[in-house]
Chain A
Amino acid sequence: MAIQIDQPSVSLSRVAVSDTHGEDSPYFAGWKAYDENPYHELTNPSGVIQMGLAENQVSFDLLEQYLEKHSDGATNSGRTSGFRENALFQDYHGNGKLYGTNKRGRAKFNPESIVITAGATAANELLTFILADPGDALLVPTPYYPGFDRDLRWRTGVNIVPVHCDSSNNFEITPQALESAYNEAESNNIRVRGILITNPSNPLGATIRRTILENILDFATRKNIHLVSDEIYSGSAFSSDEFVSIAEILETRNYKDSERVHIVYSLSKDLGLPGFRVGTIYSYNDRVVTTARRMSSFTLISSQTQQLLASMLSDKQFTGSYIRTNRERLRKRYELIIDGLGKAGIRCLKGNAGLFCWMDLSTLLEEPTKEQELCLWKLMLHEVKLNISPGSSCHCSEPGWFRVCFANMSEKTLEVALRRIHDFMERRKAH
């Protein structure tokens, strides 16, 4: 279909004609290359391997097994009255069972404070509408998930002011970096309304340490701003001990000052169900909960999906075993890739969570610039035939870092990818 974007004959909104949707970035360009020439073990062994998609495909079999065993309970076909109720159920309070049971370990959660949305994408945008006015800013530590540029800014008119992190201290968020970002916003007359962190981090693949979380919460309290913690990878920490939720920090403080804290969760990463569009907001602020619930009318979860998941997630035996197994498989996958990269002479940031690793190719750059990083990225895409995500698309201030996903493919495919990297590095050594 022909697209006329530059000169629309009839006027559309500013939002419509802007490019804040962010789709013109390399993050998405790589996907196009993959779509045009996708790797297949048998039919297209020299195609592009997709390593730019943070999907969790390592534990499907567990879900499928569950469904096979419980097909009567989980589907609509066995219970006709169940379908009718589902079909009509559009109360924005959501299916209570689903959320009461879906919470991790040590912190307590009140089901009344949970708001459902169609994916974390919607949850993040919705929170931004509630916490900030157009022209205001959210502080976001770099490197960050490229989709935030659209989710937090596009229709909301809110700005992102980056909190710069670098490799000198493993990209940890420092109080100085927070202050510096805040001051920069102030000096530009931009009102900072909150800070949004992703924990575990995308793209770093690492959890945020307790001390750092405390610092961030203290900072937010001092400045009297909000703190949004996007914890969608919490179930993907390789060991459950390593992940500390902001909820736990609040608990140790007896929930003092907690009404500035909001948590985003989703089943897309931990359960590997991105197609189902299941996102949640948990807020310690009643007004935010009420407002978010009203706004969620624009983005509710299909009741059919809610029912399926309510069944599944209330089965404690299943969820316990799923989480344990999933963590273990991700850890093994991580070790595989780190090992393989190591053998090729490539270092990665030490990671302990997520579906990707943060790879350091800075030594391969002719110059430490963004342009050189993009050249290298294009090389990886077209010559090595791997779609990996350049750090610049994640707003990383240090050129040369790349996010490499490892959980959205079979082990075999991962080994093919590693071999290609290995060969690539060998070729470079030879020159």
Chain B
Amino acid sequence: MEFESGNSQLLSKIATSDQHGENSPYFDGWKAYDNDPFHPTQNPRGVIQMGLAENQLSLDLIEEWIKKNPRASICNGEGLHAFKNIVLFQDYHGLPQFRNGVAKFMAKARGGRVSFDPDRIVMAGGATGANEMLMFCLADPGDGFLVPSPYYPAFNRDLRWRTGVQLLPVMCQSSNNFQITKQALEEAYQNAQKANIKVKGVILANPSNPLGTTLDRTTLRSLVTFINDKQIHLVCDEIYAATVFGGPSFISISEIIEEMESINRDLIHIVYSLSKDMGLPGLRVGIMYSYNNTVVNCGRKMSSFGLVSSQTQHLLASMLSDQEFTDKFVLENCTRLANRHEMFTQGLEEMGIRCLKSNAGLFCWMDLRHLLKEPTFESEMSLWRVIISDVKLNVSPGSSFHCCEPGWFRVCFANMDDETVKVALGRIRMFVGQRKDVEVQVKKSWHRNLRLSFSSLIYDETMASSPRIMSPHSPLVRATT
């Protein structure tokens, strides 16, 4: 047995690989923010963080509820009686009241059109943990999962790193607003077959990150037919379900399977979380919901590796069973998101910047193709560097989401207050104005179906996303501190 000298040989292949995705050129954006974070009074010329998909718009509602419900905490006089039972509780089934509360909230986020069985709710360390857990349950190392692009950058880490599963992108294009087509799915599937990769399923986020759009009924039905015909799994990451702020209304996979016949429900799995809908990423509430009993049982055992703190379960059990509160919260949260979205996209439109029409999420998918020197990813990177260093906004370039067309950027708008949004818009306005003065050769001859040729189905690590997109650092700066 050979041992190399030095430190690194002592670690596993997983440890020494780059699949955590944090070594990438995109780190610059986050570094720039960390080194020079915007503050309205102390650092008004700092970088504004628009690369973090956090929902900070409705925390005051939650704070108010907590003040009014001291019993939900086990740390004060009112709630202390529950302390002993809660601190001892490490049963991986989770507190029944917690599961009931989550089931109710999930139903609420879907307009009450479907109900969820609390016994199918399995805890995980955030949606991050839930997604990984599902891969461990559904696929062996080397197997593949189809994922429509553009997609959340951290899927590369979450779904692949420790599981050994491969991600096979399904290309979506702006020509049809990035919708998932049957042809694209089939093509990706066939390519996998040719490369001898066993496809175990499809995974996608609905509402979509980064697009901010929801899937329509036709697409959903077509997806279900596709996976059912091939008897492969479908994982729907619905963590943005309650951020749908406008029409068309959200349709969950849970609704579709009620409508369709002869679907093998053992193939259907949902990932949920409170990090986006409620704005509570720090509480690490990840949920795996499967219609497959074996997966539920297996997942439950695996949840030992990422249980939700019983203290948090207890708090949320109380909060989520307060129907009056959750009704109010969901409504108010959506209103605020709608207003913010409107404010931001209107502002952009006035400067001639369009965004993909969206109805959900904490971000918009901004079209800056007209600002590229050339329709290439190199140009996209150049433009991105300029936005970081000159405009001082940390936005996320489309290539980090594995978008096949250059020029798109995801811009988050729910992690700051109104004033900061205005500052950001002001900066963009100035930048666009300056840019118009510079002669830009927009190549109108580029093909409508521009597609970057990927020589490999397996994602090139250099296209991996910024580390901080995967491991966010919460910007604690607010305009009114």
Contact = CB atoms under 8 A, between A and B. Distances in A.
A129 B283 contact: no
A80 B65 CA distance: 11
Contacts of A294: 20, 22, 157, 471
Contacts of B305: 118-119, 121-122, 125, 151, 155, 298-299
Interface stretch (B6-14, B362-370, B379-387): B6-14
A287 B283 contact: no
A77 B307 contact: no
Contacts of B158: 297-298
A304 B282 contact: yes
A76 B73 contact: yes
Interface stretch (B81-89, B105-113, B181-189, B213-221): B81-89
B59 interface: yes
A131 to B, nearest CB: 6
Interface in B189-217: 200
Interface size class of B (residues with CB under 8 A): 35 or more
Contacts of A13: 136-140, 143
Interface string A122-157: 100100011111101000000000000011001100
Given A13-B140, A80-B63, A74 B474 contact: no
A13 B135 CA distance: 8
A168 B427 CA distance: 77
Contacts of A67: 74-76, 80, 83
A403 interface: no
A91 B474 contact: yes
Interface residues of A, number: 87
A122 B119 contact: no
A4 B293 contact: yes
B79 to A, nearest CB: 8
A294 B12 CA distance: 15
A272 interface: yes
B76 A87 contact: no
Given A60-B84, A83-B62, A88-B282, A16 B294 contact: yes
Contact of B83 (A64, A122, A291): A64
B66 interface: yes
Contacts of B138: 12-13, 16
B294 A88 contact: no
Contacts of B62: 83, 87
A274 B474 contact: no
A300 B266 contact: no
Nearest to A305: B309
Interface in B258-302: 264, 266-267, 275, 279-284, 292-298, 301-302
A118 B284 contact: yes
Contact of B312 (A2, A226, A295, A304): A304
B310 interface: yes
A12 B474 contact: no
B296 to A, nearest CB: 8
A260 B85 CA distance: 39
Interface in A1-16: 1-5, 8-16
B7 A287 contact: yes
A288 interface: yes
B88 A299 contact: no
B13 A133 contact: yes
A272 B88 contact: yes
A272 B88 CA distance: 7
Contacts of B77: 68, 71
A219 interface: no
B432 interface: no
A132 B15 CA distance: 9
A224 B2 CA distance: 11
B125 interface: yes
A86 interface: yes
A148 B184 CA distance: 44
A233 to B, nearest CB: 16
B266 A9 contact: yes
A250 interface: no
B309 A302 contact: yes
A121 B302 CA distance: 10
Interface centre among B10, B83, B84 (most CB of A within 10 A): B10
Interface stretch (B126-134, B166-174, B242-250): B126-134
A71 B75 contact: yes
A55 interface: yes
Given A16-B138, A275-B309, A77 B125 contact: no
A63 interface: yes
B311 interface: yes
Contacts of A125: 305
Nearest to B19: A294
Contacts of A224: 3, 10
B447 interface: no
A151 B130 CA distance: 17
B283 A68 contact: no
Contact of A295 (B162, B266, B311): B162
B283 A15 contact: no
Contacts of A89: 282, 474
B84 A10 contact: no
A157 to B, nearest CB: 8
Interface of A: 1-5, 8-17, 21, 23, 55, 57, 60, 63-64, 67-68, 71-72, 74-77, 80, 83-92, 118-119, 121-122, 125, 129-134, 136, 150-151, 154-155, 191, 193, 224-226, 259-260, 268, 272-277, 285, 287-288, 291, 294-295, 297-305, 308
Interface of B: 1, 3, 7-8, 10-15, 20, 22, 54, 56, 59, 62-63, 66-67, 70, 73-77, 80, 83-84, 86-90, 119, 125-126, 128-129, 132, 136-141, 143, 157-158, 161-162, 200, 231, 233, 264, 266-267, 275, 279-284, 292-298, 301-302, 304-312, 315, 470-474, 476
17 contacts: A1-B119, A10-B267, A12-B294, A13-B139, A21-B301, A71-B75, A71-B77, A71-B80, A80-B67, A88-B279, A119-B305, A130-B15, A131-B11, A193-B10, A298-B129, A298-B306, A304-B311
Given A67-B74, A277-B308, 16 more contacts: A8-B294, A67-B75, A74-B75, A76-B66, A91-B474, A119-B90, A121-B304, A133-B13, A155-B136, A275-B86, A287-B15, A295-B161, A297-B157, A298-B125, A303-B282, A304-B312
